[in-house]
Amino acid sequence: MSRIGVFICHCGENIARTVDCGAVAEALREHPGVVVAEDYKYMCSDPGQQLIKKAIADNDLTGVVVCACSPHMHEKTFRRAAAQAGLNPFVVEMANIREHCSWIHDDRGEATAKAIDTARTIVEKVKHNKPLQTIRIPVTKRALVIGGGIAGIQAALDIADGGHEVVLVEKEASIGGHMSQLSETFPTLDCSQCILTPRMVEAYQHPRIKLYTWSEVEKVDGYIGNFSVTIRRKARSVDEDLCNGCGDCQAACPSRRIDSEFDAGLSRRPAIYTPFPQAVPNMPVLDREHCTLFKGRRKGLAKDACGKCKETCLKGAIDYDGQDTFVTEEIGAIVVATGFQLYDIGREQPAGLKGYGEYGYGEVPDVIDGLQFERLASASGPTGGEMLRPSDGAEPKTVVFVKCVGSRDPEKGMSYCSKICCMYTAKHTMLYKHKVHDGRAVVFYMDIRAAGKGYDEFSRRAIEEDGAEYIRGRVSRIFRDGDKVKVWGYDTLSHRQVVVDADMVVLATAVRPQPGIGELAQKLSVSYDQDGFLNEAHPKLRPVETNTAGVYLAGACQAPRDIPESVAMAGATAAKVLGLFSADELERDPSVALVDERTCIGCFNCEHVCPYGAIEHRDVCDMEGHVCGHVAYVNPGVCQGCGTCVAVCPSKSVELAGFTDDQVYAEINALAGW
């Protein structure tokens, strides 16, 4: 026999203004199975919770309904209170009479009637609630960090310093990411390499960080606390244990005309190369696509066409026959920090993007993007830090910077703001003016977005102290005119056309997620938005979590981020991971799906629609132990209780604990008055 207590909260005036809480209590007192119904001004306060606890003890309640706010707000509060009074927390339910009732209605009579109906519905549900036990699953206390840029390095260091092992996977030959390419960083203009490289070395030498460079995540199995991750170690052709990083192989390599990725195509590198002098690990990789030997092998030449690097290597570290290998790591939590790429505004455009042919990119050599400018300004760059333009190596006397190329342009590019361009363009003008004192820096902008500590001051400094000329307006065309680059623009403040004869143009191109992010997201069962950025679980309250438990986001894989934000996110993910690792077992909400093996027909539609990969196949055996069929099984560690499987199951063989058919049916019946 049910003995239900109903507790109606006024929420100060939030509910009581439109709902007559006393009348709700009075009506519910008459409802079958309800033994106590009371209203109180703030049910979530300590006296309110005491009221509930006392009622549970005095009336020997079997279920509790709290008519108050959204369960997202206070369900945990009231379940905890009930547990303290000795009741199973999962027989406590919230009836939302605030967001679903008082806040959206004006008529007091009607709102009160609706609140009563809502309460009755939940009372009927609670009559069918069963005590549930929190799910406990073991935790492997090792973290995987995907991406070795500043966010990934920071997350790895924070977790490792917290006492747990970290596997750091980087797809390039060195960690460091985009930050290692930058010259100086806003808003302090300190040298990017100088602040980054110590971190890179620290990560490399950390006793609890296992670094896999030139590697990618191949497969992710399992669930929070219990992932099994297969990592593809791409054939490096250089034995990491033997190589001492002397660089002789690079000097010997005859293929020397390959565009350097690190210098954003502004310099050339050999086929066997260390990406940059401060690379970590300081060890070359053989680019098999461009290597003469491998080109020959692909053509089917009987004899290897080259072999200079192997001949030169005193350590015998070069291995032309190495293949990709796979390692499997047991992991408890995953931090995704795959970072960004710049919008490529060359002729070749990815599907769905139109490109900016009118800006002459790729055709006019002196039209470059922001990352290329960073390399030109960098002391370790192709010009040794001298400001020289790519076409003829002359010092550019007029440089035009165009912001929002691809950003905030739903028609041709992306609708979002790339966030970092305002600041780095301001920085670029300063770097330029500091090197070319008599030069002109002209900036075409839509808005100056400089929200951040010291950011507005910084961009003002570019204009007021360093004399950057900011023109509010867009650029319509950029083309070559003799040895000049002609820029046609429009000043929307003075309503006049502007033509600048520039020596070099820097396009602040949009920030986009890394290529392949979609495939990685699918491996991790993490959703992503229309632009490809990974989705956080809640934009405000769970910004570094994803909807897949145990997978966290740091840096620009989630949205355009600058360095301070990426580092802060990395620290936040580390806090989440360390929190997860603080207990030997992990507690999970028991609201998970459960398959009735007697009626499941094994159509596995549930498996196809499960966003979390929680559905597994289980064999069904006959009395003699022969496999006679397959049914679905929900892994409770992975299931997030979304109920999608329940909806698609044709034979109604899946139920969600806490939201069973019985409970939902009782609710519908209560509403229908049956």
Partner 1 sequence: MSELQDTARRLLDEGLVQVVIGWEEGPRGARPVFVTSAADCERLIFDARCVHNLATFLNPRRSQITALGKAAVVVKGCDAKAVAGLLREAQLERAGIVLIGVRCGGVAGEPATLAPPALSAETVSARCWGCDVREPESVDMLVGEAQPEPPVTADLDERVAALDALSPAERFAFWTKELSRCTQCYACRQACPLCCCERCIVEKTEPQWIETSPHPRGNFAWHLTRAQHLAGRCVGCGECERACPVGIPLGLINRKLQQVVYELYGYTVSEDPAVPAPIGAYATDDTQDFIE
Contact residues toward partner 1 (CB under 8 A) are 527-528, 530, 598-605, 608-611, 629-630, 644, 648, 650-653, 661-662, 665-666
Closest CB 618 distance from partner 1, rounded Å: 13
What residues contact 73, with CB distance under 8 A and at least 6 apart?
none
User: Are 445 and 470 a contacting pair, CB within 8 Å?
Assistant: yes
Closest CB 151 distance from partner 1, rounded Å: 23
Residues β-bridged to residue 505: 367, 400
Closest CB 66 distance from partner 1, rounded Å: 25
Which of 300/650 has CB closer to partner 1?
650
Can you tell me the distance from the alpha carbon of 456 to that of 483, in angstroms, rounded to the nearest whole number?
Answer: 35
8-state DSSP, 89: G
Closest CB 519 distance from partner 1, rounded Å: 13
Which of 104/394 has CB closer to partner 1?
104
Which of 191/609 has CB closer to partner 1?
609
Which of 456/662 has CB closer to partner 1?
662
Which of 223/612 has CB closer to partner 1?
612
Q: Beta-carbon neighbour count of residue 652 at 10 Å?
A: 10
Q: Can you say whether the dihedral through the CA atoms of 277, 279, 281, 287 is positive or negative? A: negative
Buried b (16+ CB within 10 A) or exposed e, 216-226: bbeebebbbbb
**For residue 500, what are its two tokens?**
């600048």
**For residue 376, what are its two tokens?**
């030109």
Strand spans (E) along 406-492: 440-445, 469-472, 475-481, 484-491
Which of 321/622 has CB closer to partner 1?
622
**For residue 264, what are its two tokens?**
């954003």
Q: What is the DSSP secondary-structure string of 356-370? A: -GGGTTTTSTTEEEH
User: Are 272 and 246 a contacting pair, CB within 8 Å?
Assistant: no
Closest CB 655 distance from partner 1, rounded Å: 11
Closest CB 653 distance from partner 1, rounded Å: 8
Which of 201/603 has CB closer to partner 1?
603
Residue type, 517: I
Closest CB 624 distance from partner 1, rounded Å: 16
Which of 191/620 has CB closer to partner 1?
620
Which of 110/661 has CB closer to partner 1?
661
Closest CB 552 distance from partner 1, rounded Å: 19
Which of 242/648 has CB closer to partner 1?
648
Can you tell me the distance from the alpha carbon of 127 to that of 33, in angstroms, rounded to the nearest whole number?
Answer: 8
**For residue 154, what are its two tokens?**
């920071």
285 closest CA partner among 267, 272, 269, 270: 272
User: Are 117 and 95 a contacting pair, CB within 8 Å?
Assistant: no
User: Are 634 and 645 a contacting pair, CB within 8 Å?
Assistant: yes
8-state DSSP, 414: -
Can you tell me the distance from the alpha carbon of 116 to that of 9, in angstroms, rounded to the nearest whole number?
Answer: 13
Q: Beta-carbon neighbour count of residue 631 at 10 Å?
A: 20
Closest CB 263 distance from partner 1, rounded Å: 36
Which of 122/404 has CB closer to partner 1?
122
Range list of H helices, 150-282: 150-161, 192-205, 248-252
Bond into 560 cis (ω within 30): no
Closest CB 628 distance from partner 1, rounded Å: 10
Can you tell me the distance from the alpha carbon of 40 to that of 111, in angstroms, rounded to the nearest whole number?
Answer: 18
Q: How many residues does the chain have?
A: 674
69 closest CA partner among 88, 106, 44: 44
Which of 352/482 has CB closer to partner 1?
352
Bond into 564 cis (ω within 30): no
Closest CB 620 distance from partner 1, rounded Å: 11
Closest CB 262 distance from partner 1, rounded Å: 34
Name residue, tokens 């497969």.
219
Closest CB 124 distance from partner 1, rounded Å: 12
**For residue 20, what are its two tokens?**
């007559």
Closest CB 535 distance from partner 1, rounded Å: 9
Which of 577/642 has CB closer to partner 1?
642
Which of 393/650 has CB closer to partner 1?
650
8-state DSSP, 300: T
